[in-house]
Amino acid sequence: MLDPKAEQDERDRQVVDEVARALDELTDARSIGRVLRDAVTAIAGVDGFSVALFNSVRREVAYRYKVVGADPDSAEMGQQAVDDGPDCYAARHDRRWHSFIREIGVRGPEGVEARKISVLQYPLLAAEEIFGVATLQVFGDSGFSDHATRLVLRVIEVSSDRLAAVRRAARFQPSLSPSESAAVAVLPPTAAAPSSSVTSSVEAPTTDQILNDLVNNCTEIGLPTTFMVGVDPAAGLLRGELISSSSAARELDYALGISVGRFTIELSDRYNAIARACREGRIVTSPTLDELVHPLRDADGAATLERLVQGGRSTIIPITVSGDVVGALIVGPMPDEPGFSTIVKVRDLVNETASRLAEAWRTKP
């Protein structure tokens, strides 16, 4: 009969072996990050996790995979970032890990309140080079148990060589076809590119075509001004990339750069309506343009833009494929809020789009 320590050692070995198997065929940093996120969450119950990979030439982060948990204040944890760059303590000192307590300000009913966060950082090491930092965070000042700290270290160590390889190759995102790489929606981790071995008499639509169809269908039902954003979970950003062709839309695009990639919003932003809709996976209405463009424009700038496009009311409908919010359709801005029956039609169009994307990516919605 095994003693309790031997049983725990065997369970830990199985965890490390399972992570190693899951990493075996992964060739991009985002997919590796998702495996590590699942593992450290199961081990340590974290509220935030990130992997930063350093630029091989400049002293900066080349890529960061970052996720936060379900705690209502986790969004602030992500927005008030911890230092995980080449100059942080964990990257500059010869230690297996570095732990400390930090505080963030959280807006509550009585103003801004302080919350303590326990931070645990691991330098990523390969060929005697520190090439990145993995960071775990949990609310409170009790820290992480010694067992969890050491088991996460083993998980990080088993992934280090593969992370170093994707960093050298700059393989940060899953590979997409040229047409899909320019699309609005980010390819979900469970999705796969269409197999080249499958032939069909009718060429399947690309992601870009499917999303353009959604915008065109909105125009046909009397909604000439719409735009779309995609979720980049690795960067923690929303990126605007597709917009309709109405005169108001052109003015909006000229001001914000939606179609050329300048329009980016932190997914963790608590005051941006698009970010809130994507985080919560639900339809959100916005009475003013300020809620859409915060913090890219201040209140006066948003009001000026609202007058320019002759309306500020918008409705944000998330696009969900295989359980992941991959983007959102923003109906508006417009002078009046669309009626209930119109929103139902748009929701049906979005659901149809999600099904077409799932089919194109060989997944089930």
- In CATH, what number is assigned to the domain containing residue 140? 3.30.450.40
Examine the domain organization and report whether 32 and 159 are in the same domain: yes
CA-nearest of 272, 252, 249 to 262 is: 252
Examine the domain organization and report whether 221 and 350 are in the same domain: yes
pTM of structure = 0.52
Q: Which distant-in-sequence residues (6+ apart) come within 8 Å of 233 by Cβ?
A: 30, 65, 67, 186, 267
The pLDDT value given to residue 4: 81
Examine the domain organization and report whether 208 and 92 are in the same domain: no
In whole angstroms, how far apart are CA 37 and each of 42, 137, 285, 288?
9, 12, 32, 36
Examine the domain organization and report whether 218 and 353 are in the same domain: yes
Examine the domain organization and report whether 198 and 146 are in the same domain: no
Examine the domain organization and report whether 134 and 76 are in the same domain: yes
Examine the domain organization and report whether 213 and 323 are in the same domain: yes
Contact between 243 and 258 under an 8 Å Cβ cutoff? The reply is yes
Examine the domain organization and report whether 15 and 126 are in the same domain: yes
Tell me, rounded to whole angstroms, the distance of Cα 102 from its chain centroid.
24
Contact between 119 and 137 under an 8 Å Cβ cutoff? The reply is yes
Residue 25 lies in a domain: yes
Examine the domain organization and report whether 124 and 266 are in the same domain: no
Contact between 60 and 85 under an 8 Å Cβ cutoff? The reply is yes
The total number of residues shown for the chain amounts to 365
Examine the domain organization and report whether 183 and 125 are in the same domain: no
Examine the domain organization and report whether 106 and 83 are in the same domain: yes
Examine the domain organization and report whether 235 and 337 are in the same domain: yes
Domain boundary among 169, 189, 207: 169
Instruction: Give, as one character, the DSSP assignment of residue 191.
Output: -
Residue 19 lies in a domain: yes
Residue 365 lies in a domain: no
Instruction: In whole angstroms, give the CA distance from residue 229 to residue 64.
Output: 20
The pLDDT value given to residue 187: 38
Q: Which distant-in-sequence residues (6+ apart) come within 8 Å of 32 by Cβ?
A: 23, 26, 51, 65, 159, 162, 163, 166
Can you give the residue range of the structural domain that contains 296?
178-360
Residue 129 lies in a domain: yes
Residue 356 lies in a domain: yes
The pLDDT value given to residue 362: 64
What is the count of structural domains for the chain? 2
Task: Identify the segments of the chain with pLDDT beneath 70.
Answer: 1-2, 175-204, 362-365
Domain boundary among 169, 189, 218: 169
Q: Which distant-in-sequence residues (6+ apart) come within 8 Å of 56 by Cβ?
A: 62, 131, 167, 168
Domain boundary among 147, 169, 191: 169
